[in-house]
């Protein structure tokens, strides 16, 4: 068995040009972009799920779990904003998603189920595979989990949970998101062990329909959980607890608004942005225009504003503004928002501003959570029959109890991103190690770069990053 210069055994190692760690949206879009570029290359995508292109977000099978953006906003083609609208029009015309006929709006304004969006991603990947095959490029799905990774100036080496060893000229961390509800934590409160999966309708259908359900978190995951409960036939009370008690606003289709940030490059700090954004929203309301119109123009500038902010400014934003930014910007699809509003109006769903402090199972099969209500110094207990963790996404890799993040941190190959959000990288996605050195063979894209760009999870963000990174990897950029 031969050895690499660093002493790694490579006799049973498979070689590839690019190793993509993660086969959800990020990994699938990067693979597709690599296949479409001129040249011959072999790409291995390492993903434990049975399908590529779905990941956590698009593995949902319930029609009620929809995208939180309409088709016009969710194209995976950075050069064609209408790509999803066009694909969805053909899909519906061919008999797919007949339920869409119940929504009398143009296809561009539909909010597709996430499972159908996963089909769209898979079809675009299949088309790229056909293009790549003409020039000898291939992509292969390796169904396993990466448990260790080493990288240096020569390349990258991956160890998989099934014993395989892979070697590539480049490796890309396209790990996607770590939902708090499904991610083991290094310092666990026991919440996930006691909680139901927010998207598991079958498990919820086994509850007593009149059970009292407690939900931790009031963001978009909570909205999905409420949809799941409704589809499971639940009719009992739902108690929602979150630190600020804010619900996501419903996403509407506002008219175009002037790009005020493009016109005023002097706006640089979060404080300046908030001051001007509030002024713009007040002006919109005075003109009879939806306040979401000026807010939506900010989206294109967030990466620039966040990257040029100081750590103090970022910390102030996260501490004081983030809850309101999340509820106003990450909005709920209309049908889901309508359900939440109806249940709230009926008194079945209650929102309370309170922090989760712990849980305690009871002898009678029920459970109790300890909370501290906003404005109160003392904690109190609330009893329920079932619990759901809807606290969103875990972006701090130091808290993710999975082998790969822990090994990367232990080896010093990665460094936590600003405010411990994701990991650090340069502007093109090259990973920065614990010593501040920029890697030449290890890259990242999508949600792991949350700390670098703040918004690095939306479909359009991931699609743009995939195109740019693919060009960099093959030396076209």
User: Are both 233 and 269 inside the same structural domain?
Assistant: no
Instruction: Give the mean pLDDT of 309-321.
Output: 89
User: Are both 321 and 346 inside the same structural domain?
Assistant: no
Q: Given a cut of 70, is residue 200 above it in pLDDT?
A: yes
Structural domain includes residue 73: no
Residue that terminates a domain, selected from 389, 407, 435: 389
pLDDT above 90 as % of the chain:
82
Backbone angle region of 444, left / alpha / beta, with phi > 0 → left and psi within -120 to 50 → alpha = beta
User: Are both 324 and 336 inside the same structural domain?
Assistant: no
User: Are both 129 and 172 inside the same structural domain?
Assistant: yes
Q: Given a cut of 90, is residue 364 above it in pLDDT?
A: no
Cα–Cα distance measured from residue 43 to residue 174, given in angstroms and rounded to the nearest whole number: 13
What's the domain range around 318?
260-328
In this prediction, residue 1 has a pLDDT band, given cuts at 50, 70 and 90, of very low
Give tens-digit pLDDT for 73-108: 999 999 999 999 999 999 999 999 999 999 999 999
In this prediction, residue 476 has a pLDDT band, given cuts at 50, 70 and 90, of low
Give tens-digit pLDDT for 120-137: 999 999 999 999 999 999
CATH number of the domain encompassing residue 154:
3.50.50.60
In this prediction, residue 363 has a pLDDT band, given cuts at 50, 70 and 90, of low
Structural domain includes residue 85: no
What is the total count of domains within the chain? 3
Q: Given a cut of 50, is residue 432 above it in pLDDT?
A: yes
Cα–Cα distance measured from residue 473 to residue 464, given in angstroms and rounded to the nearest whole number: 14
Q: Given a cut of 60, is residue 3 above it in pLDDT?
A: no
DSSP E strand stretches across 248-379? 349-361, 367-373
User: Are both 162 and 239 inside the same structural domain?
Assistant: no
User: Are both 53 and 128 inside the same structural domain?
Assistant: yes
Instruction: Give the mean pLDDT of 423-439.
Output: 97
Instruction: Give the mean pLDDT of 313-331.
Output: 91
Q: Are 173 and 24 in contact (CB under 8 A)?
A: no
Q: Are 166 and 19 in contact (CB under 8 A)?
A: yes
Residue that terminates a domain, selected from 389, 411, 436: 389
Q: Given a cut of 60, is residue 452 above it in pLDDT?
A: yes
Predicted TM-score (pTM) of this structure: 0.93
Q: Which two tokens stand for residue 154?
A: 């020569």
Residue that terminates a domain, selected from 389, 407, 422: 389
Q: Given a cut of 70, is residue 303 above it in pLDDT?
A: yes
Structural domain includes residue 412: yes
Q: Poorest-confidence range of 172-186, 241-255, 358-372, 457-471?
A: 358-372
Cα–Cα distance measured from residue 432 to residue 158, given in angstroms and rounded to the nearest whole number: 18
User: Are both 311 and 436 inside the same structural domain?
Assistant: no
User: Are both 61 and 140 inside the same structural domain?
Assistant: yes
User: Are both 265 and 314 inside the same structural domain?
Assistant: yes
User: Are both 447 and 307 inside the same structural domain?
Assistant: no
In this prediction, residue 271 has a pLDDT band, given cuts at 50, 70 and 90, of confident
Instruction: Give the mean pLDDT of 466-471.
Output: 98
Structural domain includes residue 95: no
Is the model more confident about 474 or about 361?
474
Structural domain includes residue 443: yes
Q: Given a cut of 50, is residue 5 above it in pLDDT?
A: no
In this prediction, residue 265 has a pLDDT band, given cuts at 50, 70 and 90, of confident
Give tens-digit pLDDT for 19-33: 999 999 999 999 999
Q: What is the mean pLDDT of the chain?
A: 93
In this prediction, residue 183 has a pLDDT band, given cuts at 50, 70 and 90, of confident
What is the pLDDT, as a whole number, of residue 341? 97
Is the model more confident about 344 or about 265?
344
What is the pLDDT, as a whole number, of residue 267? 87
Structural domain includes residue 125: yes
What is the pLDDT, as a whole number, of residue 113? 96
DSSP letter, residue 256: P
User: Which contacts (CB < 8 Å, 24+ apart) does range 404-412 have?
Assistant: 404/21, 404/145, 404/146, 404/147, 404/148, 404/149, 404/175, 406/186, 407/147, 407/148, 407/149, 408/149, 411/150
What is the pLDDT, as a whole number, of residue 270? 80
Of the chain, the end-to-end C-alpha distance in Å amounts to 37
**Of 60, 37, 22, 33, which is closest to residue 160 (Cα–Cα)?**
22
User: Are both 231 and 133 inside the same structural domain?
Assistant: no
User: Are both 359 and 232 inside the same structural domain?
Assistant: yes
Structural domain includes residue 279: yes
Structural domain includes residue 220: yes
Q: Poorest-confidence range of 134-148, 153-167, 176-190?
A: 176-190
């Amino acid at each position: 068995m031969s050895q690499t210069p660093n002493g790694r055994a490579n006799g049973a190692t498979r070689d590839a040009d690019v190793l993509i760690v993660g086969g959800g949206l990020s990994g699938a879009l990067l693979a597709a972009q690599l296949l479409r570029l001129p040249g011959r290359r072999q790409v291995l995508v390492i993903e434990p799920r049975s399908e590529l292109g779905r990941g956590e977000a698009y593995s949902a099978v319930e029609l009620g779990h929809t995208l939180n953006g309409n088709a016009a906003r969710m194209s995976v083609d950075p050069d064609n904003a209408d790509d999803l609208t066009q694909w969805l029009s053909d899909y519906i015309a061919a008999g797919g998603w007949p339920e869409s006929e119940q929504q009398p709006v143009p296809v561009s304004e539909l909010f597709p189920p996430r499972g159908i969006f996963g089909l769209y991603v898979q079809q675009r990947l299949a088309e790229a595979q056909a293009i790549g095959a003409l020039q000898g490029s291939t992509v292969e799905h390796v169904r396993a989990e990466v448990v260790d990774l080493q990288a240096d100036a020569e390349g990258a080496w991956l160890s998989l949970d099934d014993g395989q060893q892979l070697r590539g000229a480049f490796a890309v961390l396209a790990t996607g998101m770590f939902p708090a509800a499904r991610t083991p934590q290094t310092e666990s409160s026991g919440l996930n062990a006691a909680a139901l999966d927010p998207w598991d309708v079958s498990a919820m259908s086994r509850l007593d329909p009149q059970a009292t359900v407690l939900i931790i978190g009031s963001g978009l995951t909570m909205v999905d959980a409420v949809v799941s409960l409704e589809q499971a036939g639940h009719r009992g009370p739902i108690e929602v607890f979150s630190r600020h008690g804010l619900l996501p606003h419903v996403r509407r289709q506002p008219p175009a608004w002037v790009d005020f940030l493009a016109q005023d490059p002097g706006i640089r700090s979060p404080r300046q942005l908030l001051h001007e954004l509030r002024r713009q929203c007040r002006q919109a309301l005075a003109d009879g225009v939806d306040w979401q119109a000026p807010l939506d123009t900010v989206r294109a500038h967030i990466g620039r504003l966040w990257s040029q902010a100081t750590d103090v400014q970022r910390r102030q934003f996260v501490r004081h503004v983030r809850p309101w930014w999340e509820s106003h910007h990450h909005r709920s699809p209309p049908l889901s928002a309508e359900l939440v509003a109806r249940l709230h109006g009926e008194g079945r769903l209650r929102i309370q501003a309170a922090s989760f402090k712990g849980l305690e199972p009871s002898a009678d099969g029920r459970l109790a959570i300890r909370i501290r209500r906003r404005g109160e110094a003392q904690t109190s207990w609330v009893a329920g029959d079932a619990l759901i963790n809807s606290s969103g996404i875990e972006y701090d890799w130091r808290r993710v109890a999975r082998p790969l993040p822990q090994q990367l941190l232990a080896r010093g190959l990665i460094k936590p991103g600003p405010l411990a959000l994701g990991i650090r990288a340069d502007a093109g996605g090259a990973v920065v190690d614990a010593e501040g050195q920029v890697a030449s063979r290890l890259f990242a894209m999508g949600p792991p770069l949350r700390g670098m760009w703040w918004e690095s999870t939306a479909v359009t963000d991931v699609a743009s990053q995939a195109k740019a990174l693919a060009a960099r990897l093959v030396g076209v950029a």
